[in-house]
Amino acid sequence: MTYPTPTDIDAAAARIAGRVRLTPILQVEGAALGLPHPVTLKLEHTQVTGSFKVRGAFNTMLSSDVSTAGVVAASGGNHGAAVAHAASTLGHRAKIFVPKLIAKEEKLARMRDFGGEVILTEGSVADCMAEYAAHAEKTGALSVHPYDTFPTLAGQGTVAREIEAQMARTDLNGLDTILVSTGGGGLIGGVAAWFRDRVRVVSVETQDTNTLERSFREGPEFSASPSGIAASSLGGPRLGVMSWEVIRDHVDQAVLVEDAAVFEAARRLWDGTRLIGEPGAAVALAALTSGAYVPEPGERVCVLLCGGNAAPDWFLA
């Protein structure tokens, strides 16, 4: 199986241009986050639907034929909001299957507000994925997979393309390491497909959503049962097949953090920058604030804040 090249990601960036935001980066002094070193934040949580997912959603629809049956997706929230927005923008209907066990009301509201029809499913995340796939096969609706197709990975890779261009224009003059929260592997797969071996790509997960870390240890042939604070955004039952191929080839390290560290990272982010990300975004930052990842002296590090679709006070609980 062949995953996207930087050339494919260039093409995706041209295809979705004008439909997604060029989200900013922010260089933050270490003291603001309780760190001994500065860090650059990529504020992808300010994207048009509140997460990076809209990149892959638009790229998938713009590179595919969509029938009158519209599009269908399975999601814990961010992917569903992105698919709903892209579909309504392009004049298509969108149906989103959501596992009831990880559904969050604020994310359900986002999907509906962007024009999606939400269907709550019983059982596991894997059961939800099966229901959504069956609907696509039965109706002919375009399946917009959250993390395991070529156009999804190419679309998500455009955020890495942006980061590299933005970092090159800073006084840091480049990037050594990027920390990425991982769920099903679409985001980190796209990031790794762009950077290849030019930048160190580090996956960050919680102990209860450790799909990538476990895949490195055991291989990807298992079905996980994610739980905890980040499950609604990072709770893929397993890595995608194509995602795993690029991760295996180009992701350098997988680190894990506790849920408590995610709350602490979000508090520090708020206290130091007045920014609020969702739990999935705080996971990547928690690698630094918890000490799970310790940069070398002078290492130029970027943390990708992947989403912001959560209640604004979630980390105060």
- Each residue of 153-168: pLDDT tens digit? 999 999 999 999 999 9
Residue 220 has pLDDT above 70, yes or no: yes
Average pLDDT of span 7-25? 98
pLDDT for 46: 98
CA 170 – CA 317 distance, rounded (Å): 36
pLDDT at 103: 82
| pTM for the predicted model, two decimal places | 0.94
Distance CA 317, CA 313 (A): 7
What is the set of domains in the chain, with CATH numbers? 6-51+155-316 (3.40.50.1100), 54-143 (3.40.50.1100)
Each residue's pLDDT tens digit, 170-185: 988 999 999 999 998 9
For the ranges 125-134, 244-253, 270-279, 297-306, the lowest mean pLDDT is seen at 125-134
Residue whose token pair is 């709770």: 235
Distance CA 142, CA 73 (A): 9
Q: Residue 173 corresponds to which amino acid?
A: N
CA angle 27, 31, 35 (to 5 degrees): 90
CA 258 from chain centre, in angstroms, equals 19
Tokens of 2: 């062949």
pLDDT beyond 70 at 1: no
Average pLDDT of every residue of the chain: 94
**Residue 223 token pair:** 């079905």
